[in-house]
Amino acid sequence: MSLLKDELQDPANLLLPRAIEAALRAGRVMKRLFASGLRADTKSGPHDLVTEADRRAEEYILDCLHSRFPDHTLVAEESGVLGPGDPESIHWLIDPLDGTMNFVRNIPIFAVSVAAVHKGDPCCGVVYNPIMDALFTAWRGGPVELNGKRLEVSKTARVCDALLGIGLPHNPERRRREMAGSVNRVMRAGATFMRLGSAALNLAYVAAGNLDGFWELTYEPWDVAAGILMVRQAGGVVSNLDGSPLSDDKMGIVAAAPGLHQELVDLLSQGSRE
């Protein structure tokens, strides 16, 4: 059997351990640099940031994955695409530091997110918050775990009972035009909110049942690949904002406990603009 086939059939043993090692190594770098007053550079705007910690953590992850999987494609937020780029190969989607705004403001809510994806289908994923030493892991067909303890999504079945995570676009105009209306509708329906500032952690918390659901309009594949697998494997539902199957065309993402997903989608798709 080919190596690729082996890896796809046994991600728990052939992919996940290295993903964990990469995330733990990157986490150690971030923990060392946390609250050390690193300068933040802006990317697309004043709320889209990058620091030396993002870059250094990413280097560790790339080294760790490339040395073990030279035939795989690495897609990393700060470095772009490395490796063969062959659509048949496993693609690693890497966000070395998801929640840079929190990191810069000394708020310890951020994570490394690493996922192995084959033809759009996640095979394994890791989300690691080094400050809380919280290691979320998942592999296709297997359990979702937090530090070895199995997780399940919440049983909440009504939006009026829900605690939801939200993500906000970096672009202020999109925040006003496209988020204010949906937040207002969901709030009127009775839900309450958290804006944690890390899409990867939001999804991990949905998988763990700490949050009942999460939605965000704008995201990149490395923000969500590991978390999507976690939510699905923990029994939750992930889709575009209008409830259609999740696509790459930036139609937003909603992840929720199964009893809640449809009601949330109905509220979110009542018109995305105000």
Please report, as ranges, the residues that interact with ligand IPD according to CB under 6 A. 95, 98-101, 167-168, 197-199, 216, 218-219, 223
Task: Confirm or reject binding of residue 216 to Ca ion (CB under 5 A).
Answer: no
Quick one: residue 55, left, alpha or beta (phi over 0 = left, psi -120 to 50 = alpha)? Answer: alpha
Indicate whether 95 belongs to the interface with Ca ion (CB under 5 A): yes
Handedness of CA 35, 39, 42, 43 (dihedral sign): negative
Question: According to CB under 5 A, which one of 145, 212, 216, 223 is a site residue for Ca ion?
Answer: 223
Instruction: State how far the Cα of 212 lies from the Cα of 208, in Å rounded to an integer.
Output: 9
- When CB distances are held under 5 to 8 angstroms depending on the partner's kind, the choice from ligand IPD, Ca ion, none that residue 236 binds is none
Q: For 124, how many CA atoms within 13 A lie in the half-sphere containing its CB? A: 21
Question: Given candidates 7, 58, 98, 145, which one binds Ca ion under the rule CB under 5 A?
Answer: 98
User: How many whole angstroms separate alpha carbon 202 and alpha carbon 211?
Assistant: 8
Residue 14 or 230 having the CB closest to ligand IPD:
230
The pairing of strands 41-42 and 134-139 is unpaired
Question: Quick one: 97 or 123, whose CB is closer to ligand IPD?
Answer: 97
Give, as one character, the DSSP assignment of residue 245. Answer: P
- DSSP character for 157? -
Q: Which residue is nearest to ligand IPD (CB)?
A: 167
The option from Ca ion, ligand IPD, none interacting with 219 (CB < 5 to 8 A, set by class) reads ligand IPD
- Catalog residues that contact Ca ion under the rule CB under 5 A: 77, 95, 97-98, 223
